[in-house]
Amino acid sequence: MCAAILLAEDDRNQAEFLRRYLVAQGHQVSVVHDGRSALELARARRPQLILLDVMMPNLDGVTVCRVLREESPVLILMLTARSAEDDLLIGLDVGADDYVTKPYSPRELMARIRTLLRRAGRETPSPGALLRAGALTVDPVRHTVALDDAPVDCTPGEFAILAAMVAQPDRVFTRPQLLEYTRGVERESTNRAIDTHVMNLRRKIEPNPRRPVRLVTVYGVGYKLSDAAH
């Protein structure tokens, strides 16, 4: 699974090493060494995936991620030397899809890239394809939801959230990430609106909404849809 990748890494030796490794795996790679250049090239070339170092000159990676996420659903994998939980959560909160903490092995990085690309492929199903997670089925074409083959009525915002999560079961979504899915169907949406949608969805799909087993909270991060729940 090959992709057009933008690598933003200020360490030129590390950047060249990663570029060669990625090219050997069949990817097309563009390289920049500062945040401003990363932002400009991402807008110009529209890569499928961005490998984004956190500590860069001009603009840091968190700022670049925040700006890009307001403009595009491009996949973003953060490369960070920081291991503190708060720092990692900041990256996820501004819209990063995943992160790798330095030092990392190239094999680990390739595995994360493959996972993200597979997820992205599942987000754009072929016409007529049904999305399934456990007992839930979502039909993106007919805009319907079923639980154990029984229809579930959803608002446009609820459907947008559920369709995104069913397409990527067990992925943890932050509230800002879920906001991206609702902006096309709701004039105004906020983090509080996301919480309300989740609460309403739990009333519709959970055996006990007060003790959810399908649409669960990942404390300090966001929500995920369990693929194992029936």
145, β-bridge pairs: 138, 152
Residue labelled with tokens 């092995």: 105
Residue labelled with tokens 């993200």: 116
Q: Are 173 and 195 in contact (CB under 8 A)?
A: no
How much of the chain exceeds pLDDT 70, in percent? 86
Query: Is residue 93's pLDDT more than 80?
Result: no
Which residue stretches of 46-183 are H helix?
A: 61-71, 85-93, 106-123, 156-167, 175-182
Give the model's pLDDT for residue 33.
Answer: 95
Give the model's pLDDT for residue 119.
Answer: 72
Type of residue at 89: L
Q: Are 42 and 68 in contact (CB under 8 A)?
A: yes
Q: Could you give the CA distance from residue 105 to residue 102 in angstroms, rounded to a whole number? A: 9
**How does the average pLDDT of the chain come out, rounded?**
83
Give the model's pLDDT for residue 213.
Answer: 94
Q: What is the mean pLDDT of residues 113-126?
A: 68
| Cβ-proximal residues to 35 (8 Å cutoff; 6+ apart), any chain | 8, 56, 57, 58, 59, 60, 61, 63, 64
Query: Is residue 94's pLDDT more than 80?
Result: no
Q: Which helix (H) or strand (E) holds 35?
A: helix 35-45
Least reliable range by pLDDT among 32-36, 76-80, 225-229: 225-229
Taken in order of first residue, the domains within the chain and their CATH numbers are 4-123 (3.40.50.2300), 131-225 (1.10.10.10)
Q: What is the mean pLDDT of residues 9-14?
A: 92
**What are 20's two structure tokens?**
């060669």
Of 34 and 172, the structure prediction assigns the larger pLDDT to: 34
Query: Is residue 127's pLDDT more than 60?
Result: no
Give the model's pLDDT for residue 40.
Answer: 92
Burial class from Cβ neighbours inside 10 Å (0-12, 13-18, 19+) for residue 82 reads middle
0.75 cut: is pTM over it? no
Query: Is residue 114's pLDDT more than 60?
Result: yes
Q: Could you give the CA distance from residue 77 to residue 83 in angstroms, rounded to a whole number? A: 15
Residue among 28, 24, 30, 26 nearest 9 (CA):
30
Of 129 and 208, the structure prediction assigns the larger pLDDT to: 208
Burial class from Cβ neighbours inside 10 Å (0-12, 13-18, 19+) for residue 159 reads buried
Query: Is residue 141's pLDDT more than 60?
Result: yes
